[in-house]
Amino acid sequence: MELHVPYTEILKRDADFRVSYRYYSYDEGGRWSVVYQGIRNDFWYKNDGNLKGSLYMIWPEFEDTSGNVILSKSEPIALSGTARMWIANANLIQYHKQYLTLGMTGYFQEGGKRTAECTVIELISLVHGE
């Protein structure tokens, strides 16, 4: 079994925020194949910054029902659940800190295709005012 190396070990920092997500079914225009830990889809959310309308390299790290990072890269990820979110470009953390807010909606995207909808449920390193 191939294991996922948690992003806390790779990036040497905490996650930026958490989301609850729901992948669209194939009939809703979603993926035709299952998702595994380690997918690096893009993230989109509405904001009014100078990068508005962009797709962002913000990667999910899926959690089990107890909130622990799923370490197996060979077990399919649930179609809905929670994920820690990681802003891949550390230079954009301050940008997203201005615009990402608790309760807002975002989307996992693969190219121009939305594959899942998300709600921000926790700000971790993106806590405003820090």
The answer to the question of residue 125 being in a domain is: no
Please say if the pLDDT value at position 35 is more than 80: yes
The answer to the question of residue 22 being in a domain is: yes
- Band of residue 130 on the pLDDT scale cut at 50, 70, 90: very low
The answer to the question of residue 34 being in a domain is: yes
Q: Would you state the pLDDT for residue 128?
A: 57
Q: How far apart are CA 78 and CA 60, in angstroms?
A: 13
Q: Would you state the pLDDT for residue 32?
A: 87
Q: How many CB atoms lie within 10 A of CB 122?
A: 15
Output the furthest CA–CA distance in the chain (Å, rounded).
43
**pTM attached to this predicted model:** 0.93
Range of the domain at 37: 7-119
Mean pLDDT across the stretch 80-101? 95
The answer to the question of residue 109 being in a domain is: yes
Q: Would you state the pLDDT for residue 1?
A: 74
Q: How far apart are CA 63 and CA 71, in angstroms?
A: 9
Domain total of the chain: 1
Backbone phi, then psi, for 93, in 5-degree steps? -60, -45
- Band of residue 54 on the pLDDT scale cut at 50, 70, 90: very high
The answer to the question of residue 45 being in a domain is: yes
Give me the percent of the chain exceeding a pLDDT of 70: 98
The answer to the question of residue 129 being in a domain is: no
Mean pLDDT across the stretch 44-56? 95
Q: Would you state the pLDDT for residue 57?
A: 96
The answer to the question of residue 126 being in a domain is: no
The answer to the question of residue 127 being in a domain is: no
- Band of residue 9 on the pLDDT scale cut at 50, 70, 90: very high
For the domain that residue 47 is a member of, what is the CATH number?
2.40.30.10
